Amino acid sequence: MGRYIDEILQPGEKVLYSTNAHWIFFLPAIAGWVVAIVFIVVSYQVPSGPPALLCLTMAAFSAIVAMYKTVTAWFHRFTTETDVTNFRVVHKTGFVKRQTFEMSVDKVESVDVNQSILGRILNYGDVTVLGVGEGGKTLETIASPLGFRNAITARPAGA
């Protein structure tokens, strides 16, 4: 299975910039794995018997939740594409149920970036693309939002 953008490129169209959902989507999974490891370590610190068994049970439960969160975060990143070509802005999410957003670069009125403090530190944020007469779309938690904005708003000399 190839990238969505490669399947829909028009003649003469080139991909100028690609980004994806930020790795911050893995944060709940990372937290779940940390909790599971903490419960395993605590199980060796408490007396054997019911307290240790309870800690191991909690570690197993945390690991199952963490595995679920890991798989869903990976699948979200795998099935989300955000690209800028010389003609349009393209955003695709989903695998079986696909949702796409496309807007001609010529119709883009403004591109707004919203980043939290953590988003600025880790380089992720929400980007709202507003079009002339076309409405708009907010692309949530994408990596390198300023680079994405610059790829949309930058115009070659003489264009």
Domains in the chain: boundaries? 14-22+83-153, 26-75
pLDDT value of position 126: 95
Is the distance from CB of 76 to CB of 21 less than 8 angstroms?
A: yes
Mean pLDDT, the chain cut into blocks of 10 residues (159 residues total)? 86 92 94 97 91 94 97 94 92 91 90 95 94 86 93 68
pLDDT of residue 159: 47
pLDDT confidence of residue 155: 66
Task: Supply the pLDDT for residue 141.
Answer: 93
Calculated CA dihedral for residues 23, 20, 75, 56, nearest 10 degrees: 0
- Neighbouring residues of 84: CB distance < 8 A, sequence distance ≥ 6: 15, 16, 17, 18, 90, 105, 148, 151, 152
Pairing, β 135-143 against β 124-131: antiparallel
pLDDT at position 157: 44
What pTM was estimated for this model as a whole?
Answer: 0.80
